[in-house]
Amino acid sequence: MNQIPALIRVFSYLSILTVGGGMAAFPEMKILTVDVHHWLSFAQLIHLYSVGQMAPGPNMMMIVSIGQWAGGTLGAIAVLIAFFGPTAILAFVVAKAWRKLEKWPWRSSIQQGLAPVSIGLLLAGGLSLAKGAIAGVETGVLAVAVLLILLRYKVNPALLVLASAGVALLIPPK
Amino acid sequence: MNEANVVPALQTATGPTGAQAEVSILQIFLELLIIGATSFGGAVPYLRRSRVTKLHWVNDKEFVEMLSISQSLPGLNATNMAVLVGEKLRGMMGAIAGIIGICLPGGLLMFVVGIYYRQHGDHAFVTAALKGVSAAAVGLILFTVVSLSKKSLSHNFDLFFIAMTVIAVNQLHLGVPRTLIAVGILAILFHHPRKTQKTGATL
C-alpha cells in the first residue's frame, strides 16, 4: 500500500507541534508512527531518535529513516518536506511581522509565557522517551550520569552519547 | 528593511568600513551546508561561531533577535535560524538555500543509518550499544530542560506551568495543540504587560 499520503499527513501535522524544539512532537510522533500506522516499533523509534543525537545538523533527522522505511527514497523526501516545510514557511512569514511588533507590550508576554510551556513540552517528550529507554538500574544510572556530567563540564553532548554506547557494551547482558 | 537589494546603496552611503558585500545564494547554501555537516550536539552554537556572524552577515543583536523568534515559533531552532538568516540575506531563495543546506548532511546520514539499522539493528552487539545511546539521549534532554529553565524562565511560578504542561501531555493525553492553547494562554496572561516595564526579564 502506498504510504506517502499518510507520511505527508502525519509529518506535516507533527511539524506544527514542534514548539520550542523537535522533542515537543515526540509523544504524538510515538502515537502516530507506532500505534496508528505501525511504521516502526516503539523501541525502534527510541533507537532512531537517540542515534540521531550523534548526527550533525537539526536533531530530528531520524524522521528521514522513518520515511525511508515506510515509503522508500520518495518517502524519505516526502517526510523531510512535510516536517520542515510548514514551520519554514511560518518562520519566513511571521519573522517579518514579529520584528514590526517590537514595541507591542504583549510581545514579551508571549515570549515569557511560551518559555515554560515549551520547556514543559520538552520534558514531556523526554519522559515518554524515558519510558522506553530507561529499563533498569544501569540505564537509569547512565542517564543521570550524562545529566550530571553536562551540568558540571563543558562536553560535546554528541561525544557523550557515543561514550554511553561504549559503556553500555561493557554491561554484561542478562 | 535590510533587504539584499538595498545593500549596494548602503555600501556607498556607509563607505568601505561598514560595508556589507552582497552574499550569493550559493554562499548561503555552502555555509549552512558546512554547519549542517559539522554541528555535532546542537546546531545553534555552531551557527553562532560560524562565518555567518564572523563575516557580519548577521550581527550579534540580529542573531539574538532571530534566536528569540526561532524559539517562540514552532519548528526546530536550527531550521528556523537557517530560514531567518537566509531570508535576511537574500529573501525567499536565501531562506530555501539555508534550510536545504543545514538539513542535507544530517538527512543523508540518517537515510543511510536507517537502512543499516533496519538490517542489523537486532544484532546483540548493536542492541547493547543502542541501550546506552538511548539512556544518554534521556540525560541529554534532562540537561536541556535544566539549562533552558535557568536561561529563559522569568518567574518561579513558571515551574507550575511546566508541571501543568507535562501533566496535560503525559497524564491527561490532551495532545500538544490543546495543551499549548490551554497552558499557553494561562502563562501568557500571567506574564501580561505590567505598567512598571521590567525590561530585559528574558534572555
Dig out the grid coordinates for A12 from the structure.
Answer: 506535516
The larger pLDDT score, comparing residue B67 to residue B168, is at B168
The pLDDT assigned to B196 comes to: 53
User: Could you tell me the pTM of the whole model?
Assistant: 0.86
Q: Please judge whether B74 and A117 are an interchain contact, meaning their C-beta atoms are less than 8 angstroms apart.
A: no
Tell me which residue has cell 524559539.
B71
User: Domain spans of chain A?
Assistant: 4-133, 135-174
For residue B111, give the nearest of A20, A76, A139 by CB distance.
Answer: A76
Q: How far is B133 from chain A (nearest CA, A)?
A: 5
Query: Predicted ipTM?
Result: 0.90
pLDDT, tens only, B118-174: 998 888 888 889 999 999 999 999 999 999 899 888 889 999 999 999 999 999 999
Who contacts B168 (Cβ-Cβ below 8 Å, separation ≥6)?
A: B174, B178, B179, B182, B183
Please report how many Cα atoms fall inside a 13 Å half-sphere around the Cα of residue B115, on the Cβ side: 10
Query: Which of A44, A88, A142 minimises the CB distance to B75?
Result: A88
Print the SS3 string covering A24-40: HHHHHHHHHHHHHCCCC
Q: What is the pLDDT of residue B6?
A: 41
Q: Could you list the pLDDT tens digit for every one of the 174 residues in chain A? A: 689 999 999 999 999 999 988 999 999 999 999 999 999 999 999 999 999 988 999 989 999 999 999 999 999 999 999 999 999 999 999 877 877 887 888 888 888 898 999 999 999 999 999 999 998 899 999 999 999 999 999 888 889 999 999 999 987 765
